[in-house]
Structure 1
Amino acid sequence: MNVRLGSTSISLSRYLVLWTAVVLVFAIQRSLSDGLHGPSWPFIDHLRWAMIQWYTWAALAPLVFRLAERHPMNPSRRFRGLGAQVLASLAVTSAAMVIGALASTLFEPSGFFEQLWYFIAQHFATGMLTYWALFAIQQALHFHAEKARREVEASRLATELAQSRLLALKSQLQPHFLFNTLHAIITLLDEDTLSAEQMLLRLSELLRAFLEDYDGQEIPLRQELDLIELYLGIQRVRFKDRLTTRTYIASDTLDCAVPSLLLQPLVENAVRHGIGQRVGSDVIEIETRREGDVLCIEVRNRNSTLAPESAAPDGHGIGMSNTRLRLKELYGDNADVRLDMIWPEGVVCRVRLPFRALESDDESPEFGAVVTPA
């Protein structure tokens, strides 16, 4: 059985234990105080008076909590709430005096009015303090519960906002990639119809994979590698013998959680700023490894360079900016992405994010240090 104190609930046994502790403290204090002034009343008498006084307040405390909830001390109506509480404190304290006097007449030879006067003279001020102490406890519990509720609500809204931002960022990647791929297919239609058909088939498979995973923000690295292999297959058809792709994937990173479509814009940048703009052949390399609690991913091309304005970490257009924003939303300051030059020629995009295993339902083949020619 529980006792309702406004919006707070407490078991009856615990409630009685708390008030019994108050009874004992005041009974002992009165007994000691009485003993300092000569012959004292028996302790049982002090205990009885304390029980009458404080068990009365135990019965009235739920009413005090309800009044405190109905007439709170809100900043917007502070004086109105204060006036209501002053009247309520006078009324409830007076009721406590009447109840105490009635209970005392069962044990004392004097009449009701004599006991009532005694209670008013001895306990009215203490009763008023008791009312306001209970009011303060209720307000503290209310503010604590309200703070917890607002924190939960703020956390929920922050999560929804972050999710919306991530979905918006992710949705920007797919049209960007689709436009570039369709442009490449159109270019090939007049030159190599068979290659254009192969690219369309791979594009169909890749778009189906995108749609199947659209609601997810993280996927296992092995699944991300499957998606990027479809993309690289399209690029190998497009550039033929000019493009070579290599992957160096540590086996202990395959089940690590990564943002979905993390690699696609990075690899697309490597292709576009390398073989897409410069003559000759190119090598696109993807490497993953674990360094303690950090997953390190590198995407390299061997046929490009960084312009001075691109050497800063914020360079390289929508792909890099969206990747940076997604990592910021998902991992805060625990992830970063940057571009560096590599020797003798080329650019590497380095991504670092927290290492966290994510089980995959798909059985993908093991990746190793392989060379995939065009």
Structure 2
Amino acid sequence: MAVDRPEWFRWWQVPAYALLWTLVGMSFAGQHYLTSAKVGVPVGWGVAVASALADWYVFGVLALPAAWLASRFSLTGPHWKLRVAVNVVAGMVFSLLWILGRSALSQIFVPLRGAEKPFGEVLRYVLVATFFFNMLVYWMVVTGTHALAYYASFRDRERRVLELEGRLTSARLHALQMQLNPHFLFNALHGISTLMYRDVDRADSMLVRLAELLRHALDRSQQQTVTLREELAFLDRYLALEQMRFSDRLTVRREIDPALLGAAVPNLILQPLVENAIKHGLEPESRPGCITLRASRPVPGRLRLEVEDNGRGMPAGKPGRVGVGTANCRARLVQLYGTSARFELEPGSEGGVRAVIELPV
């Protein structure tokens, strides 16, 4: 039965793995070279390097099956006593294999003190000198394997959490958009039904325009953000529909910075604010009303959108008009931008209400 390699191991990492053991070997070679000179038994630099690299390359080769075994018999799984016992035995085997490999290597081409002696005598010397150190190296490999496994698990959990948060945010935004569309449709149909008793031809034209508007909204229903240019184009269609209902009682002013038309804004973010201004600010009044649309950049990196009416205004001591449109707008901004977006209702300059949105761009 085939055994999968640990998730953290990739073949493209082999050069980095070899470099790691080379660096460790070179550091021990330097230590060996300086120490031998200090005690009066100097060893040549080439001999020190060859000896140290042989030591640590053998460790590097044995570390691969040791790492696999450590991941296969993780100390944190069930039956921990059995797992610890397996790792203790594996550490002993690891140490003995290193001793055999290193002794054989020293006999072949690496000068080692005592190499001229018989292999059995060299083996006994290396066994006594290195057995417990080799065990320590094995447990360092086990520790490193567990650390890498924990890191990979942490990254995987983090990725899954981010994916779930993204899906949850998308679902919430979709739910908010689905809440907005029936609300808008109900208000539009209510306006048409009211007009039907006074002007059938105009009501018929409004119905045609409403169909075009809904088709345009459905085409963009899966988009969470659009450009400001697209948002204003949709708003123009909606305002044309409302102007048919109000005739000359509704005027629209635009103060839009052309440089901002390509900025990304939430889809259908302005229409409910305009609808709210008309319904609560202008419709109760008999006099002509005006809606002013503004887009500006108050500071670099920020986009400010305003929808202002000159209608009834906010009652004294009350927070302003709170309906489906404004609540929906606030909730969508929180979902898309968190605390980096701002939405406020404040008194307008001409007695009405100004809805202000600030977004990062």
Q: Same fold (TM over 0.5)?
A: yes
Task: Report the CA distance between 1:209 and its aligned residue.
Answer: 0.6
The answer on whether the counterparts of 1:101 and 1:112 sit within 8 Å (CA) in structure 2 is yes
Do the aligned partners of residues 9 and 73 (structure 1) sit closer, same or farther apart at CA in structure 2, a change above 3 Å counting?
farther
Q: Which has the higher contact order (CA 8 A, sep 6+)?
A: 1
Do the aligned partners of residues 7 and 18 (structure 1) sit closer, same or farther apart at CA in structure 2, a change above 3 Å counting?
closer
Provide structure 1 residue ranges, at least 5 long, that are not aligned to the other structure: 356-374
Identity of aligned residues (%): 33
Q: 267, 286, 304: which is aligned to 1:260?
A: 267
Q: Does 1:170 align with 2:177?
A: yes
Cα distance in 2 between the residues matched to 1:5 and 1:174: 47
Provide structure 2 residue ranges, at least 5 long, that are not aligned to the other structure: 110-114
Q: 271, 280, 297: which is aligned to 1:273?
A: 280
**Alpha-carbon displacement from aligned partner over 1:79-135 (angstroms, at most 9, x marks no partner):** 554333222212211221222233344473433332222122100111011111222
Partner of 2:283, secondary structure, is coil
Superposition TM-score, scaled by structure 2 size: 0.87
Q: 61, 73, 76: which is aligned to 1:74?
A: 76
Partner of 1:274, secondary structure, is helix
Q: 325, 329, 333: which is aligned to 1:327?
A: 333
Q: 333, 352, 355: which is aligned to 1:349?
A: 355
Q: 102, 126, 149: which is aligned to 1:100?
A: 102
The answer on whether the counterparts of 1:269 and 1:316 sit within 8 Å (CA) in structure 2 is no
Instruction: Please show how residues 289-300 of structure 1 align to structure 2 within 5 Å.
Output: 289-292=296-299, 293-300=301-308
Cα distance in 2 between the residues matched to 1:92 and 1:99: 11
- The aligned residue for residue 306 of structure 1 is 314
Q: 64, 88, 91: which is aligned to 1:89?
A: 91
Amino acid at match of 1:170: Q
Instruction: Please show how residues 23-34 of structure 1 align to structure 2 within 5 Å.
Output: 23-34=25-36
Q: How many residues of Structure 1 are paired with residues of Structure 2 in the alignment?
A: 351
Cα distance in 2 between the residues matched to 1:223 and 1:5: 46
Deviates further, 169-178 or 12-21: 12-21
Do the aligned partners of residues 76 and 237 (structure 1) sit closer, same or farther apart at CA in structure 2, a change above 3 Å counting?
farther
Amino acid at match of 1:53: D
- The aligned residue for residue 250 of structure 1 is 257
Deviates further, 27-36 or 320-329: 27-36
Amino acid at match of 1:63: P
Do the aligned partners of residues 349 and 139 (structure 1) sit closer, same or farther apart at CA in structure 2, a change above 3 Å counting?
same
Superposition TM-score, scaled by structure 1 size: 0.85
Do the aligned partners of residues 245 and 53 (structure 1) sit closer, same or farther apart at CA in structure 2, a change above 3 Å counting?
closer
The answer on whether the counterparts of 1:243 and 1:283 sit within 8 Å (CA) in structure 2 is yes
The answer on whether the counterparts of 1:6 and 1:66 sit within 8 Å (CA) in structure 2 is no
Q: CA RMSD in A?
A: 2.6
Task: Report the CA distance between 1:291 and its aligned residue.
Answer: 2.1
Cα distance in 2 between the residues matched to 1:175 and 1:6: 50
Q: Does 1:236 align with 2:243?
A: yes
The answer on whether the counterparts of 1:6 and 1:69 sit within 8 Å (CA) in structure 2 is no
Cα distance in 2 between the residues matched to 1:6 and 1:227: 50
Amino acid at match of 2:326: M
Amino acid at match of 2:340: N
Amino acid at match of 1:23: G
Deviates further, 115-124 or 93-102: 93-102
